[in-house]
Structure 1
């Protein structure tokens, strides 16, 4: 059970921009090439092999990290990544690098006298040894960098929240904005956007969570999240995750982890995920959101 839980833990999908992932791919390729050059015979024919191998490593990594999510956005969604998925992806990368390098180097006759089978075995062994060690090292670097960055952003957002809560001034009472949501099955839900906490999507259904008469209310409607978001049409209700909408003015605490953030809302103790891709926008709104006078500092989680 512990192994299964570990494999299901959130894990960062590399770094948070194409530029950073470009340099990550280039750095890892250079690191493996340097290892091969230092620990194996430094003859010109070998140096040629290692340079070609480094180029192949870069192309495979960059294609997998940057371009594959553009082609398969659902499968490669950063917020869905776990330790197990990362390990599987790493294994696939090593297999792909080993196979492509074997074919290219054998075709260029850089292993004269050896059969293709021997070249494949030799390269897969080198990729497992040198490539595996390098990826493990870089993985720990990524995890540490992302965790520190997310924790720093969460702390900054919490500081803004505390400042807003401590200086909150009751606003004049205005009519509560109310919207009527139309589902795909002609069902309707009339709800106050002030009371709405978050909306959670599951395939073609969306579950609304709001506070009414001091208690948490829920209602499920058939409809996709994009359509729901358009009907709510409120600057306070924003997409925080591919499966969630959140009321920014209801956020009282932000926590960071390696895969993004968790948002805690007023009156409930249910964390709402905030993905890394949506993080900067939502955290900026948190920092500039006028404080809700109904929130008390005692509601903020320590």
Structure 2
């Protein structure tokens, strides 16, 4: 019986770590979150003095010591996650487990940094000892562990509940209301990649750097077309079609193909007709998605011809 309980607990933990988690570390958001972390950490250290303080060793006031011990770590975290955002596509598959692992890496770097600046802060002949090295890392992980254990699960459950409730209000629609010509010439960066796209055949488009991967409906499984055009450039060319919406910085979706909307901690998760991949809707784009889906569901049906011409 105990073995079954242990296996169930392990599976639950693994499932939790594999759950989608909001990727906060975009260029527009990072500085806001790290400013908040700096203010919380500074206030906590300055007011409560959580660790032993020997003021006789201080080379500066305790206020500035707290400032250095919170500003530099916040800056390290900001730089780390900004580089992660810039050089990777982690936002596509960010999970609770990713959040834990990368925070632990940042905490280790911060612990080493706190050790390296001891000579600036403390007048102590043993600043460069192994004892203080491990003490600084230990103290950093103690503070960081409180943040991880408290904030991540609480935020995860809050976002999950909120987005689940919001997703239940979304009305999926098969409406193809469009009184314009449904065929659009897509102008790519390379002339050979230009093609005529019929919007009713389009399921979704996924960003791949300077390329875009088109998922086109077919009789069996979706056809994939890789074209040299960025998602931003493509979005600008499709602004006249209300059924085409950016749901995530890595996705454009034909809203007429949405068959199910589910909430998760990162926002929404869409099931599209004929596509096995779950497509995300970012938290910041949920209001626009809800509004557009409502608009389409209230629009009259119009008949269109399906075709895709390369």
Residue 256 (structure 1) shift: 1.6
- 2:286 maps to what in 1? 279
Residue 274 (structure 1) shift: 1.8
Distance in 2 between the 1:50 and 1:133 partners?
Answer: 22
**Closer/same/farther in 2, CA of residues 289 and 52 from structure 1, 3 Å limit:** farther
Residue 109 (structure 1) shift: 2.3
Residue 115 (structure 1) shift: 3.7
**Closer/same/farther in 2, CA of residues 148 and 123 from structure 1, 3 Å limit:** same
- 1:291 maps to what in 2? 298
Q: TM-score, normalised by structure 1?
A: 0.71
Tell me the secondary structure at the aligned position of residue 282 of structure 1: helix
- 2:139 maps to what in 1? 126
**Closer/same/farther in 2, CA of residues 15 and 108 from structure 1, 3 Å limit:** closer
Q: In the alignment, is the contact (CA less than 8 A) between 1:31 and 1:134 conserved in 2? A: no
**Closer/same/farther in 2, CA of residues 268 and 293 from structure 1, 3 Å limit:** farther
- 2:308 maps to what in 1? none
- Over aligned residues, Cα RMSD in angstroms? 4.1
Q: 1:228 and 2:241 equivalent?
A: no
- 2:186 maps to what in 1? 181
- 1:116 maps to what in 2? 128
**Closer/same/farther in 2, CA of residues 24 and 145 from structure 1, 3 Å limit:** farther
**Closer/same/farther in 2, CA of residues 95 and 243 from structure 1, 3 Å limit:** same
- 2:202 maps to what in 1? 196
Q: 1:92 and 2:105 equivalent?
A: yes
**Closer/same/farther in 2, CA of residues 45 and 145 from structure 1, 3 Å limit:** farther
Distance in 2 between the 1:204 and 1:242 partners?
Answer: 13
Gaps of 5+ in 2: 1-9, 303-310
**Closer/same/farther in 2, CA of residues 113 and 43 from structure 1, 3 Å limit:** closer
Q: 1:82 and 2:95 equivalent?
A: yes
Counterpart selection for 1:255 from 259, 262, 267: 262
Residue 245 (structure 1) shift: 1.0
- 2:23 maps to what in 1? 13
**Closer/same/farther in 2, CA of residues 88 and 266 from structure 1, 3 Å limit:** closer
- 1:298 maps to what in 2? none
Gaps of 5+ in 1: 296-302
Tell me the secondary structure at the aligned position of residue 186 of structure 1: helix
Q: In the alignment, is the contact (CA less than 8 A) between 2:118 and 2:127 conserved in 1? A: no
Distance in 2 between the 1:55 and 1:105 partners?
Answer: 11
Q: TM-score, normalised by structure 2?
A: 0.69
Distance in 1 between the 2:18 and 2:213 partners?
Answer: 24
- 1:148 maps to what in 2? 161
Q: In the alignment, is the contact (CA less than 8 A) between 1:79 and 1:259 conserved in 2? A: no
Residue 220 (structure 1) shift: 1.0
Q: In the alignment, is the contact (CA less than 8 A) between 1:249 and 1:292 conserved in 2? A: no
**Closer/same/farther in 2, CA of residues 30 and 144 from structure 1, 3 Å limit:** farther
Total equivalences in the alignment: 283
**Closer/same/farther in 2, CA of residues 153 and 190 from structure 1, 3 Å limit:** same
